[in-house]
Amino acid sequence: MSSEQNLLKPYNLNGLSLLNRVVMAPMTRSRADNPENKPTEGLHDVYYTQRASAGLIITEGSQVSKQAVGYVNTPGIYSKEQVEAWKLVNKKVHNNNGKIFIQLWHVGRMSHPDFHNGELPLSSSAINPEAQSYTPEGFKDTVTPKEMTIEDIERTIQDFKKAAKNSMEADFDGIEIHSSNGYLFHQFFNGTSNKRKDQYGGSIENRARILFETIDAIKEVMPEQKIGLRLNPSLHGIFGMTLDKETIPTFDYIIKKLNDYDLAYLHLSEPFNDVSNIPHAVTEIAKRYRPIYHGTLMINAGFDKESGNKVIRDGQADLVAFGKPYISNPDLVERFAENIPLSDWDTATFYTQGKEGYIDYEAKARKQEA
Ligand SMILES: Cc1cc2nc3c(=O)[nH]c(=O)nc-3n(C[C@H](O)[C@H](O)[C@H](O)COP(=O)(O)O)c2cc1C
């Protein structure tokens, strides 16, 4: 019986009532192809509203400043125009009983000089990830970034604070700090990308410092109960990230320290690839971190209906975030409830422009009662 599925049970997200535990994971879709990099009316609002039966939507990564950008046609949340455009998205999602957080993003060294009038992107240290950036002219090799000065760090923290304030003005239900997947915060956490000698490098505490200073700054402009945060402790071989003997103690430290806060949730990803033979990798993230983190734990990567229900039943997570299944199944919750097979996604339209592969996936299930 569908009512017995753990995924379909309601959840109290630190004061915010979610109709179910199915979360739409943050996904960049490159449809903000306008000069202001704002959500596109007729696209973003339709896309997210189609998916409003999710217990919670987390938007695509949205840059907190011009400096923070690293991919073409991604939306921002730093200008008045962007705030107004997001407001329209949120109004429609809320009218359809949806709940929506925005993912706040700074890509750090994954950006490219083409986005910054030839200036270098910023990172914890001047170390090239030896990866590829998706620039306006297509994929290009990444460059060696500029090591951030203390002023750069302080300005970036203020950019996150301002973006969080803007998010509240745009009527989001909360924010998710993107401290995952090899982007700026992750570059600070990892000893292979952070060789700093000041208070932001060296010890584990120092490498994690920028994250906690950012949370503390954001708390000044919104309730911490509405702040979520994403981590991917076992990311390896993607965006220049590699694991070392400090990796597990670093994430253990960060996750333990998050217990000092009363956050909306901690969003963790299981490994994106097979790390069973990689030294210093945690292969079962939820299993390791569920006993360590005392707040709401959201888990992601590779889940389906069965494994999603199971991870909640086993007590290893409270919420499950689905990425790719949400691209091609706008009515994912109803399909789970009615046991309707899922439609396949088309990778060719993940990052293209326009409606195709974005808002033209069919809802096959009957509408669930709100
Ligand atoms: C097209 C696409 C775009 C993505 N963009 C983001 C993003 O902006 N921010 C983020 O944290 N993760 C991003 N991800 C990662 C997803 O949130 C998720 O972790 C990943 O797809 C694994 O979950 P899944 O197996 O349910 O798809 C993206 C994934 C895909 C497929």
How large is the C-alpha radius of gyration of the chain? 19
Strand 132-135 to 138-141 pairing: antiparallel
- The pLDDT > 90 percentage for the chain reads 97
Longest dimension (CA), the chain: 58
User: In the predicted model, what is the mean pLDDT of residues 272-297?
Assistant: 97
Distance from the alpha carbon of residue 27 to the mean position of ligand 1, in angstroms: 5
pTM: 0.98
CA dihedral angle for residue 241, residue 244, residue 250, residue 252, rounded to 10 degrees: 110
Give pLDDT, residue 365.
79
In the residue annotation, 200 being an active-site residue is answered as no
134 Cβ below 6 A of ligand 1: no
Distance from the alpha carbon of residue 272 to the mean position of ligand 1, in angstroms: 10
Name which of 304, 300, 301, 292 is nearest 335 in CA terms.
Answer: 304
Name which of 350, 353, 330 is nearest 342 in CA terms.
Answer: 330
Measuring from atom 28 of ligand 1, which residue has the nearest CA? Answer: 27
User: Of 98-102, 143-147, 209-213, 239-243, where does mean pLDDT reach its minimum?
Assistant: 239-243
Name which of 13, 3, 7 is nearest 311 in CA terms.
Answer: 7
Residue 196 has pLDDT above 60, yes or no: yes
Strand 56-63 to 22-24 pairing: parallel
Residue 367 has pLDDT above 80, yes or no: no
155-176 pLDDT per residue, tens: 999 999 999 999 999 999 999 9
Q: Which residue has the tokens 């033209």?
A: 360
Measuring from atom 6 of ligand 1, which residue has the nearest CA? Answer: 27
Distance from the alpha carbon of residue 151 to the mean position of ligand 1, in angstroms: 31
74 Cβ below 6 A of ligand 1: no
28 Cβ below 6 A of ligand 1: yes
Distance from the alpha carbon of residue 7 to the mean position of ligand 1, in angstroms: 20
Distance from the alpha carbon of residue 290 to the mean position of ligand 1, in angstroms: 22
220-265 pLDDT per residue, tens: 999 999 999 999 999 999 999 999 999 999 999 999 999 999 999 9
H runs (alpha helix) in the chain: 44-50, 80-95, 150-169, 184-189, 204-219, 247-257, 285-289, 305-313, 324-328, 332-338
Active-site residue among 71, 134, 183, 293?
A: 183
85-94 pLDDT per residue, tens: 999 999 999 9
40 Cβ below 6 A of ligand 1: no
62 Cβ below 6 A of ligand 1: no
- Chain centre to alpha carbon of residue 344: 22
Distance from the alpha carbon of residue 219 to the mean position of ligand 1, in angstroms: 26
255 Cβ below 6 A of ligand 1: no
Site to probe by mutation for ligand 1, drawn from 28, 29, 298, 306 as the one with most ligand atoms within 8 Å of Cβ, is 28
3-58 pLDDT per residue, tens: 589 999 999 999 999 999 999 999 999 999 999 999 999 999 999 999 999 999 99
Residue 112 has pLDDT above 90, yes or no: yes
106 Cβ below 6 A of ligand 1: no
30 Cβ below 6 A of ligand 1: no
Q: Which domains does the chain have, with CATH numbers?
A: 6-349 (3.20.20.70)
* DSSP string covering 88-129: HHHHHHHHTT--EEEEEE--GGGS-GGGTTTPPPEESSS---
Measuring from atom 18 of ligand 1, which residue has the nearest CA? Answer: 323
Nearest atom of ligand 1 to the alpha carbon of 176: 11
How far, CA to CA in Å, does 215 sit from each of 108, 253, 295? Answer: 18, 16, 16
